[in-house]
Structure 1
Amino acid sequence: MSPHPASPSFHVTRTLAEDATEAALRADVLHGLTGTPKTLPPKWFYDARGSELFERITTLPEYYPTRAEREILLARAPEIAAATGARTLVELGSGSSDKTRHLLDALPQLSAYVPVDVSESALRGAARTLLADYPALDLHALVADFTRELTLPATPGPRLVVFLGGTIGNLLPDERSAFLAAVRAMLSPGDFLLLGTDLVKDEAELVAAYDDASGVTAAFNKNVLSVMNRELHADFDPGAFEHVALWDARAEWIEMRLRSVRDQVVKIPAVDLVVDLAAGEEIRTEVSAKFRRTGVERELRSAGLELTHWWTDAAGRFGLSVSTVSG
C-alpha cells in the first residue's frame, strides 16, 4: 500500500439537484423517442440491475476493453506517476473506483482523491472501502454530472484528471469536443488528463464484444426499457425487442440498438407520450466510438491539450494517453 500524507478526511459535495436525475431522464426520453431515428442515451442502462449486468459483461471472454485497460494500468502506473507528479487525482465517472487503485498505489505523493459520479450511494460505498485501505488519503467526492461544467475543490496540484473505460466513445463527436474543452477549462498549467480510448480493430472482434454468446449484453441493453417502466410508468414489453449490435465503418463506431419485433404502441404516462413502433423499427441506445492515435491526438489538440504519452496493451486493442495543457 502506498504511503500517503496524514490528516485524512472525507467530504461529499452535491452539485446535482435531488430531482436532477428524474428530470434528465424525462427530458432524454421525450427528446429521444420523438426524434428520427429514435434514440436513448446509454447512461440510463445503469440502475442497480444494469450496473450488475455491466460488471458481468466486463468478465465475459468477448469483452476485452476492461482487461486491456487494466493491463496498461498495471504496467504503466509508475510511468504515469513519474510523468505527472500528481498530488490530486480527479476521476470522472468513478463508480466503484476499482481500477483507480492501480494509480493510488503508484502515487506516493498523492494528497487528495476527487471521485465524480452522479450516484451518491456509489461514491459513499467506494469511499468506505478506499478509506479502509488508504486511511491517510483525503477524499472529496462530487455528486455531479461530468458532462456539465464542474467546479473542482481546492486541492493541491499538480492534478491528474482521469477518464477511463473508453467511456469517451459514448459521446458523439460534438459532445466529445465540448467535453474535452470543459476538461481543459478545469486544468491549470502543469495539470494532466489520463484518457482511456478503445481502438479500431477487426469488425468481428468489435461486434462480438457488444453481442456476446451468453446474451448478457442483450439483457443489459433491454434493461433501459425496465428503467423507463419503473421510473416513468411506461408499458414497454422487453420481449418485444431484440438486441442489435453493428459496426459503422464510416463513423468508426459500434451502435447498439433495440429492434421492435412487431408493430406496437407504447405508453409513457409520466411524460404524456405515446410511441408508435413499426415492426423492424429501431431505437439506438448506444454509440461506442473506436479511435486511432492520430484521431485522439487531433481531438486533444483541438481542445487545447497536448498528448505527451501513449500506451497500448500488448495486443494493441486499447489506448491510454496522458496529455497536458498546450503552450
Structure 2
Amino acid sequence: MPDPVIGWLLDSDPAIRWQVLRDLLDAPEAEWRAERARVETTGWGARLLSNQDADGQWAGGAFVPAGFDWSEWHSVGQPWTATGFSLTQLREFGIDPDSGIARRTVALVGMNAHWDHDHQPFWEGEVEECINGRTVADGAYFGVDVAPIVERLVGQRLADGGWNCERINGSLRSSFATTINVLEGLLEFERSTGGTAASREARRSGEEYLLARQLFRRLSTGEVADPAFLEFTHPNRWRYDVLRALDYFRSAGLLARPDRRIAEAIDHVQSRRQPDGRWVLDRQLAGRVWFDVDDGQGQPSKWVTLRAMRVLRWWREQGA
C-alpha cells in the first residue's frame, strides 16, 4: 500500500479491515461486504460468539456476570463480559445483523436475558439512560422494536438538552457520557426506522448540548470538563472521549453537516498523531474481558487510528 499506516490497518482482523475498506479506501460495496461477512466466522467476532451461552447470553447475565461479587468492581474494575456489552461489541465489530446467528442471538436474548436492576426483559430496557441508550443502539441495529425505550429516553431529557444516568437520583444537569450513549442509540434508531419527530428533535438537542461545550469544555467556565475526555479509549463501553464524539458526528454526517464548534476537538486529534502516522491507546478500562482487541495502553492502536483517520478524512471532505 502507498500509505504504510493503511497497510498496517489492513493487516488486521476482519472487524477492522472491512471498515478500512469502506471508510478509508472507498472500496466497492461488494468487497467490503464480503470482508464484513467474515466477522462472524473469523477472528474477534467468531471468538466472542464462541463464548456465548447456550441460552444466547454471555456470562449468564445482562449487565454483570451471573453470581458477580460486587467487591470485584472496586478491587479489579467493572466487568465487561455480560450480554449487554458483548452485543455492543458485536455491533461495533460490524457483524451482519441479518445473519442467521445474529437473528438467533437476538431471539434468545429476548427470551432469556433480564436486567439486573429489576429483572426487566432485556429488549425492554431498564432505568439508566446510559444502558438504555446502548440497548436502543443494539436493538435498532439488530432489528428489534425498541420504540418504547426511545419514547422513554425522549421523556427523560433534561432541560439543558442532554441526559444523565443520575437523573433518578436528582441530577438536573446532563453528562457527556450519558448523552453520547443516548445519541448513538437515537441515531441507530433513526437509521433503521426513520425515527419519530420527537426522537429526531431530541437527538438534535443532545448534539447541541455537546456542541455548545465544544465536545469537552464546561459551559460555565470554558475549562476542560474532564482531562480524560482528551484521552483516547477503546473499547469505550459507556465512557466518553472526544474521538468517540467526533466519530458520532462523522457517522451522522449525512444528517447533520459539520459544525465549527468541533474544530478544537479536531485539532486535538490531529495533534495526537504520532510521527509514524499512527495514534496510541491512552486508556484501557480495567475489569474482566473476554479478550483484548488492542496491544495495550500506550501502544499504537488500530482501532483508535481507524477512528481518527476517518474522522479527519470526513472533516477535510466537508471542507470544514
TM-score (norm 2): 0.25
Q: Whose helix fraction is larger, Structure 1's or Structure 2's?
A: 2
TM-score (norm 1): 0.25
Larger RCO, structure (CA 8 Å, separation 6 or more) = 1
Larger radius of gyration: 1
